[in-house]
Amino acid sequence: MFIEIKKKLKLYNMKVGLFIPCYINQLYPQVGKATLELLEKLNVDVVYPSGQTCCGQPMANSGYENESVGACNNFVKNFNEFDYIVTPSGSCAYHVKKHFDVIPQTDEVTKVRNNVYELCDFILNVLKIKDVGARFPHKVGIHKSCHGLRGLRLGSCSEKVTPEYSYIGELLAEVSGVEIITLNREDECCGFGGTFAVVEEAISVKMGKDRVQDHLDNGAEVITATDTSCLMHLEGLITRHMQPLKVLHIAEILNSVN
Protein backbone atom coordinates (compact mmCIF):
# COMPACT_ATOMS: atom_id res chain seq x y z
CA MET A 1 0.00 0.00 0.00
CA PHE A 2 2.68 2.40 1.15
CA ILE A 3 4.82 1.30 -1.78
CA GLU A 4 1.97 2.05 -4.16
CA ILE A 5 1.62 5.56 -2.85
CA LYS A 6 5.30 6.19 -3.23
CA LYS A 7 5.15 4.85 -6.76
CA LYS A 8 2.42 7.24 -7.64
CA LEU A 9 4.12 10.19 -6.12
CA LYS A 10 7.43 9.25 -7.75
CA LEU A 11 9.21 10.15 -4.59
CA TYR A 12 12.43 8.52 -5.55
CA ASN A 13 13.98 11.20 -7.58
CA MET A 14 17.45 9.78 -7.31
CA LYS A 15 20.05 8.05 -9.40
CA VAL A 16 20.89 4.64 -8.02
CA GLY A 17 23.76 2.52 -9.28
CA LEU A 18 23.85 -1.20 -8.61
CA PHE A 19 27.19 -2.73 -7.68
CA ILE A 20 27.36 -6.49 -8.10
CA PRO A 21 30.55 -7.82 -6.46
CA CYS A 22 32.85 -9.95 -8.64
CA TYR A 23 32.08 -13.33 -7.08
CA ILE A 24 28.32 -12.70 -7.12
CA ASN A 25 28.55 -11.68 -10.74
CA GLN A 26 30.35 -14.88 -11.71
CA LEU A 27 29.23 -17.50 -9.20
CA TYR A 28 25.94 -16.35 -7.68
CA PRO A 29 24.19 -14.35 -10.44
CA GLN A 30 20.84 -15.24 -8.83
CA VAL A 31 21.73 -12.93 -5.92
CA GLY A 32 22.36 -10.09 -8.35
CA LYS A 33 19.08 -10.76 -10.12
CA ALA A 34 17.13 -10.84 -6.88
CA THR A 35 18.71 -7.56 -5.79
CA LEU A 36 17.88 -5.85 -9.05
CA GLU A 37 14.33 -7.19 -9.18
CA LEU A 38 13.72 -6.24 -5.59
CA LEU A 39 14.88 -2.68 -6.11
CA GLU A 40 12.77 -2.38 -9.23
CA LYS A 41 9.78 -3.70 -7.33
CA LEU A 42 10.36 -0.97 -4.81
CA ASN A 43 10.21 1.47 -7.68
CA VAL A 44 13.83 2.49 -7.55
CA ASP A 45 15.22 3.72 -10.81
CA VAL A 46 18.29 1.53 -10.73
CA VAL A 47 21.12 1.38 -13.23
CA TYR A 48 23.71 -1.35 -13.56
CA PRO A 49 26.81 0.22 -15.09
CA SER A 50 28.64 -2.28 -17.30
CA GLY A 51 32.37 -2.61 -16.84
CA GLN A 52 32.32 -3.33 -13.11
CA THR A 53 34.70 -5.79 -11.59
CA CYS A 54 35.58 -5.81 -7.89
CA CYS A 55 35.98 -3.41 -4.97
CA GLY A 56 39.61 -4.43 -4.49
CA GLN A 57 39.12 -6.14 -1.18
CA PRO A 58 40.70 -9.54 -2.00
CA MET A 59 44.10 -7.95 -2.65
CA ALA A 60 43.89 -5.31 0.06
CA ASN A 61 42.91 -7.67 2.87
CA SER A 62 45.75 -9.95 1.84
CA GLY A 63 48.20 -7.13 2.42
CA TYR A 64 48.48 -6.03 -1.20
CA GLU A 65 46.62 -2.76 -1.05
CA ASN A 66 48.77 -1.43 -3.90
CA GLU A 67 47.48 -4.12 -6.22
CA SER A 68 43.92 -3.02 -5.45
CA VAL A 69 44.38 0.48 -6.85
CA GLY A 70 43.28 -0.49 -10.37
CA ALA A 71 40.09 -2.04 -9.04
CA CYS A 72 39.37 1.01 -6.87
CA ASN A 73 39.83 3.38 -9.79
CA ASN A 74 37.60 1.26 -11.97
CA PHE A 75 34.96 1.31 -9.25
CA VAL A 76 35.07 5.08 -8.95
CA LYS A 77 34.90 5.47 -12.72
CA ASN A 78 31.75 3.35 -12.84
CA PHE A 79 29.94 4.87 -9.91
CA ASN A 80 30.92 8.47 -9.36
CA GLU A 81 27.80 9.96 -10.88
CA PHE A 82 25.28 8.16 -8.70
CA ASP A 83 23.46 9.56 -5.69
CA TYR A 84 23.41 6.11 -4.18
CA ILE A 85 25.45 3.02 -4.88
CA VAL A 86 23.66 -0.06 -3.64
CA THR A 87 25.24 -3.47 -3.27
CA PRO A 88 24.14 -6.82 -1.86
CA SER A 89 27.35 -7.02 0.16
CA GLY A 90 28.11 -5.41 3.49
CA SER A 91 31.71 -6.42 3.15
CA CYS A 92 32.30 -4.68 -0.19
CA ALA A 93 30.41 -1.56 0.88
CA TYR A 94 32.56 -1.44 4.00
CA HIS A 95 35.71 -1.85 1.96
CA VAL A 96 34.82 1.11 -0.24
CA LYS A 97 34.00 3.23 2.80
CA LYS A 98 36.94 2.26 4.92
CA HIS A 99 39.81 1.41 2.61
CA PHE A 100 39.44 3.58 -0.48
CA ASP A 101 41.95 5.89 1.16
CA VAL A 102 44.54 4.00 -0.84
CA ILE A 103 43.80 6.24 -3.85
CA PRO A 104 43.94 10.07 -3.90
CA GLN A 105 40.86 11.57 -2.26
CA THR A 106 39.36 13.49 -5.17
CA ASP A 107 35.78 14.75 -4.97
CA GLU A 108 34.67 11.76 -6.99
CA VAL A 109 36.30 9.31 -4.62
CA THR A 110 34.85 11.00 -1.56
CA LYS A 111 31.43 11.00 -3.16
CA VAL A 112 31.60 7.32 -3.95
CA ARG A 113 32.75 6.50 -0.45
CA ASN A 114 29.91 8.47 1.08
CA ASN A 115 27.22 7.15 -1.21
CA VAL A 116 27.77 3.42 -1.04
CA TYR A 117 25.07 1.45 0.80
CA GLU A 118 24.52 -2.15 1.71
CA LEU A 119 21.13 -3.31 0.38
CA CYS A 120 19.20 -3.67 3.69
CA ASP A 121 20.56 -0.39 4.95
CA PHE A 122 19.38 1.30 1.75
CA ILE A 123 15.88 -0.18 1.84
CA LEU A 124 15.33 0.51 5.51
CA ASN A 125 17.06 3.84 5.98
CA VAL A 126 16.97 5.55 2.60
CA LEU A 127 13.74 4.22 1.11
CA LYS A 128 12.31 3.95 4.62
CA ILE A 129 10.53 0.72 3.77
CA LYS A 130 10.21 -2.16 6.21
CA ASP A 131 7.70 -4.42 4.52
CA VAL A 132 8.79 -5.23 1.01
CA GLY A 133 5.80 -7.48 0.43
CA ALA A 134 7.67 -10.78 0.42
CA ARG A 135 6.50 -14.20 1.51
CA PHE A 136 8.85 -16.95 2.68
CA PRO A 137 7.31 -19.59 4.92
CA HIS A 138 10.49 -21.12 6.36
CA LYS A 139 12.64 -21.21 9.47
CA VAL A 140 15.51 -18.85 8.88
CA GLY A 141 18.69 -18.17 10.85
CA ILE A 142 20.42 -14.84 10.33
CA HIS A 143 24.17 -14.99 10.04
CA LYS A 144 25.27 -11.46 10.83
CA SER A 145 28.24 -11.04 8.53
CA CYS A 146 31.00 -9.29 10.45
CA HIS A 147 32.10 -6.52 8.10
CA GLY A 148 28.53 -5.34 7.75
CA LEU A 149 27.81 -5.74 11.45
CA ARG A 150 30.90 -4.28 13.11
CA GLY A 151 32.18 -2.31 10.14
CA LEU A 152 29.05 -0.66 8.77
CA ARG A 153 27.10 -1.10 12.02
CA LEU A 154 24.17 -2.68 10.22
CA GLY A 155 23.08 -3.92 13.62
CA SER A 156 24.11 -3.87 17.24
CA CYS A 157 26.80 -6.39 18.13
CA SER A 158 26.89 -8.49 21.27
CA GLU A 159 30.16 -6.96 22.51
CA LYS A 160 28.90 -3.41 22.85
CA VAL A 161 26.37 -2.13 25.33
CA THR A 162 24.10 -0.28 22.93
CA PRO A 163 20.38 -0.47 22.10
CA GLU A 164 19.59 -3.59 20.09
CA TYR A 165 18.81 -3.33 16.40
CA SER A 166 19.40 -5.24 13.18
CA TYR A 167 18.57 -3.96 9.71
CA ILE A 168 18.44 -7.40 8.17
CA GLY A 169 16.36 -8.63 11.12
CA GLU A 170 13.88 -5.79 10.82
CA LEU A 171 13.31 -6.44 7.12
CA LEU A 172 13.12 -10.18 7.56
CA ALA A 173 10.63 -9.89 10.41
CA GLU A 174 8.12 -8.31 8.03
CA VAL A 175 8.33 -11.14 5.52
CA SER A 176 5.13 -13.11 5.70
CA GLY A 177 5.40 -16.69 6.93
CA VAL A 178 8.99 -16.47 8.02
CA GLU A 179 10.13 -17.79 11.36
CA ILE A 180 13.41 -16.30 12.55
CA ILE A 181 15.27 -18.73 14.76
CA THR A 182 17.52 -17.73 17.64
CA LEU A 183 21.12 -18.88 17.54
CA ASN A 184 23.27 -19.80 20.53
CA ARG A 185 25.92 -17.36 19.36
CA GLU A 186 24.14 -14.49 17.75
CA ASP A 187 27.05 -12.88 15.93
CA GLU A 188 30.02 -15.21 15.77
CA CYS A 189 32.17 -15.02 12.64
CA CYS A 190 31.72 -17.82 10.06
CA GLY A 191 35.42 -18.06 9.29
CA PHE A 192 35.42 -17.05 5.64
CA GLY A 193 37.64 -13.97 5.81
CA GLY A 194 38.76 -13.84 2.16
CA THR A 195 42.19 -15.42 1.70
CA PHE A 196 41.99 -16.39 5.38
CA ALA A 197 39.78 -19.25 4.15
CA VAL A 198 42.79 -20.86 2.49
CA VAL A 199 45.73 -19.42 4.45
CA GLU A 200 44.18 -20.62 7.71
CA GLU A 201 42.24 -23.50 6.20
CA ALA A 202 41.90 -25.60 9.36
CA ILE A 203 40.49 -22.80 11.52
CA SER A 204 38.34 -21.44 8.73
CA VAL A 205 36.70 -24.82 8.22
CA LYS A 206 36.24 -25.36 11.95
CA MET A 207 34.61 -21.97 12.37
CA GLY A 208 32.30 -22.67 9.45
CA LYS A 209 31.34 -26.08 10.80
CA ASP A 210 30.49 -24.58 14.18
CA ARG A 211 28.41 -21.87 12.54
CA VAL A 212 26.46 -24.43 10.51
CA GLN A 213 25.96 -26.59 13.61
CA ASP A 214 24.52 -23.66 15.56
CA HIS A 215 21.89 -23.26 12.83
CA LEU A 216 21.14 -26.98 12.72
CA ASP A 217 20.88 -27.20 16.51
CA ASN A 218 18.27 -24.47 16.49
CA GLY A 219 16.17 -25.90 13.72
CA ALA A 220 16.97 -23.54 10.86
CA GLU A 221 16.08 -24.60 7.31
CA VAL A 222 17.83 -21.65 5.74
CA ILE A 223 20.83 -19.49 6.62
CA THR A 224 20.65 -15.99 5.31
CA ALA A 225 23.10 -13.09 5.43
CA THR A 226 23.99 -9.75 3.92
CA ASP A 227 27.08 -11.31 2.36
CA THR A 228 27.27 -14.09 -0.18
CA SER A 229 30.93 -14.67 0.62
CA CYS A 230 30.07 -16.01 4.08
CA LEU A 231 27.28 -18.05 2.53
CA MET A 232 29.55 -19.51 -0.15
CA HIS A 233 31.86 -20.77 2.59
CA LEU A 234 29.01 -22.21 4.64
CA GLU A 235 27.35 -23.71 1.57
CA GLY A 236 30.63 -25.38 0.63
CA LEU A 237 30.62 -27.18 3.97
CA ILE A 238 26.91 -27.96 3.89
CA THR A 239 27.02 -29.58 0.44
CA ARG A 240 30.22 -31.47 1.20
CA HIS A 241 28.69 -32.90 4.35
CA MET A 242 25.22 -33.24 2.82
CA GLN A 243 23.49 -31.38 5.62
CA PRO A 244 19.80 -30.42 5.57
CA LEU A 245 20.29 -26.68 5.22
CA LYS A 246 20.12 -24.12 2.45
CA VAL A 247 21.82 -20.78 2.12
CA LEU A 248 20.08 -17.78 0.59
CA HIS A 249 21.17 -14.19 0.41
CA ILE A 250 18.71 -11.84 2.09
CA ALA A 251 17.88 -10.32 -1.31
CA GLU A 252 16.62 -13.70 -2.48
CA ILE A 253 14.27 -13.96 0.51
CA LEU A 254 13.05 -10.39 0.23
CA ASN A 255 12.38 -11.02 -3.45
CA SER A 256 10.36 -14.21 -2.81
CA VAL A 257 6.63 -14.26 -3.20
CA ASN A 258 5.64 -17.90 -2.90
* Contact criterion met (CB below 8 Å) for 46 and 40: yes
Q: Tell me, by CB under 8 A, how many residues bind another protein.
A: 76
Find the part of the chain contacting another protein (CB under 8 A) among 7-15, 118-126, 198-206, 249-257: 198-206
Q: Give every CB contact of residue 128 below 8 A, 6+ residues apart in sequence.
A: none
- Round to whole Å and give the CA distance between 36 and 17: 10
61 touches another protein by CB under 8 A? yes
Q: Give every CB contact of residue 257 below 8 A, 6+ residues apart in sequence.
A: 133, 134, 135
236 touches another protein by CB under 8 A? yes
Distance of CA 170 to the CA centre of its chain: 15
Q: How far is the CB of 166 from another protein (least distance, A)?
A: 15
**Which residue from 70, 108, 111, 138 is in contact with another protein, where contact means CB under 8 A?**
70
CA-closest candidate to residue 25, choices 95, 113, 111, 92: 92
24 touches another protein by CB under 8 A? yes
Find the part of the chain contacting another protein (CB under 8 A) among 45-53, 117-125, 174-182, 250-258: 45-53
- The partner residues of 180 in beta bridges, in order of sequence, read 140
Residue 158 or 182 having the CB closest to another protein: 158
**Which residue from 15, 41, 62, 243 is in contact with another protein, where contact means CB under 8 A?**
62
